[in-house]
Amino acid sequence: MNETLRLIHNRRSLRAFSDRPIPPEVLLALKEATLRAPTAGNMAYYSIVEVCDREKKEKLALLCDNQPMIAKAPLVWIFLADAQKWLNYYHESGAVEKANDLPYRPIGLGDLHLALQDTIIAAHNAVIAAEALGLGSCYIGDVIENFEELSDLLHLSGSVIPGAMVIFGYPKTDNPVKLTPRCPVDSIFMKDSYREPHLKEMEAAYFEHEEQKRR
């Protein structure tokens, strides 16, 4: 197994971070690697908010199921699906006047899907890059559930939607977090068309590895 595959296979969510600060050069390397993520039309349909303010981090911890690790994390990034910036550019660049009377099309569901794809791909680029830099990470999905409160907290506007929050930091201990099992390959991959799994397949794919976690 090569180094890249080893990082992917050994990656696990880290929820306890040391107080060790992330050096500026490591942070820059993480940002640059994040931006190397594939993106639709090279448009980077996303923006990333780095939350540094202590009060905002504590508010996020409360909003996201009262998880204090968020407030304690050295680095908190919120990945935003951002179709709004291109709509703004369309108007501010004078493109409307140059469009030869083409009908205006507002941001649609397809645009938001593309933006969310870009956003999650960038987030996972950051997660894998963090592993390569010796950092741990943890996805926080509650930002999607608390869209209204998060919009107020971060002053989101228009078609800007939170896609994910990821917290980063150096591990608190040298003891590795136990890897959680995953579903068998055949339970996820299908050929040529979709097929709904039946009861026994679902039990084999999910419940058995949940039993492994409890052992």
pLDDT band at 213 (very low <50, low <70, confident <90, very high): low
CATH of the domain at 152: 3.40.109.10
Residues 99 and 27 in one domain: yes
Say whether pTM exceeds 0.85. Answer: yes
Q: Two tokens at 136?
A: 């741990």
Quick one: pLDDT at residue 212?
Answer: 58
109 conformational bin, left if phi > 0, alpha if psi -120 to 50, beta if neither: alpha
Beta bridge pairs of residue 17: 171
- Write the pLDDT tens digit of every residue in 102-152: 777 778 888 899 999 999 999 999 999 999 999 999 999 888 888 889 999
Least confident stretch, 19-33, 79-93, 109-123: 79-93
Quick one: pLDDT at residue 214?
Answer: 58
Residues 73 and 161 in one domain: yes
| Mean pLDDT of the residues in the chain | 90
H or E element, residue 82: strand 75-82
Residues 171 and 205 in one domain: no
Number of structural domains (the chain) is 2
Instruction: State yes or no: pLDDT of 162 exceeds 90.
Output: yes
Do residues 165 and 144 lie in contact, with contact meaning Cβ atoms separated by under 8 Å? Answer: no
Rounded CA separation 198/13 (Å): 30
Residues 126 and 188 in one domain: no
Q: Two tokens at 200?
A: 């026994």
DSSP labels for 163-177? EEEEEEE-BSSSSPP
Residues 111 and 150 in one domain: yes
Quick one: pLDDT at residue 89?
Answer: 84
Quick one: pLDDT at residue 208?
Answer: 65
Do residues 126 and 166 lie in contact, with contact meaning Cβ atoms separated by under 8 Å? Answer: yes
Average pLDDT over residues 81-94: 87
Residues 131 and 188 in one domain: no
136 conformational bin, left if phi > 0, alpha if psi -120 to 50, beta if neither: beta
